[in-house]
């Protein structure tokens, strides 16, 4: 009988990327390989960064796409099986695919590869009508400056 770890359903590491379906996928171990390891970082109020550990991969080995409200990262190195004869292969250079669901109004700003880490920069841009704005309160009683001007005129 299979057992399922449901503890990810109760974690409180909300950065805006979690959705109930993603919690169930984690709990059911749909992404059991765990490769590549990744971090999600809140850089500023409306900026985020996804960092993936991709040792030994180059720009040509990785593709990043956005579709269906998600970021799809695919990668892997093409190694000639006749050229290398591994006695032990512990570095995960096999192909991988990771998908990150994006919340509404979040899109990819850019990506860079440095020192074995792939950084995907994200930004949340709310439409003007959804941004908070301050509403001035008017009053039907005259303001202090109007009263002062009236007293000077008299």
pLDDT at residue 5 above 70? no
- Dihedral through CA 145, CA 146, CA 147, CA 151, nearest 10? 100
Domain boundaries, the chain: 35-80+88-127
| Higher per-residue confidence, 109 vs 19 | 109
Residue 9: per-residue pLDDT: 46
pLDDT in tens, 72-114: 999 987 766 677 677 787 776 678 899 999 888 888 999 999 9
pLDDT in tens, 63-72: 999 988 899 9
Residue 45: per-residue pLDDT: 87
Kindly indicate the confidence band of residue 32, based on its pLDDT and cuts at 50, 70 and 90: very low
Residue with tokens 């039907």: 140
DSSP type of residue 77: -
pLDDT at residue 122 above 70? yes
Helix H or strand E encompassing 124: strand 117-124
The answer to whether domain 35-80+88-127 has CATH 1.50.10.20 is: no
Residue 55's closest CA among 80, 110, 83, 92? 92
Residue 117: per-residue pLDDT: 93
**What strand order describes the sheet that includes 117-124?**
38-44, 47-53, 117-124, 106-114
In angstroms, the CA 136 to CA 146 distance is 18
């Amino acid at each position: 009988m299979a057992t399922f770890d449901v503890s990810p359903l109760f974690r409180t590491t909300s950065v805006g990327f979690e959705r109930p379906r993603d919690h169930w996928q984690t709990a059911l171990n749909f992404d059991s390989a765990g490769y590549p390891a990744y971090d999600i970082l809140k850089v500023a109020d409306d900026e985020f960064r996804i960092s993936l550990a991709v040792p030994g991969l180059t720009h040509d080995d990785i593709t990043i796409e956005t579709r269906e409200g998600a970021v799809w990262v695919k990668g892997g190195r093409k190694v000639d099986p006749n050229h290398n004869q591994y006695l032990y292969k512990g570095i995960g250079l096999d192909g991988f695919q990771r998908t990150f669901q994006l919340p509404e109004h979040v899109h990819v700003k850019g990506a860079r590869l440095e020192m074995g880490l792939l950084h995907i920069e994200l930004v949340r841009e709310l439409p003007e009508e959804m941004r908070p704005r301050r509403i001035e309160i008017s009053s039907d009683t005259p303001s202090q400056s109007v009263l002062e001007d009236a007293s000077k005129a008299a």
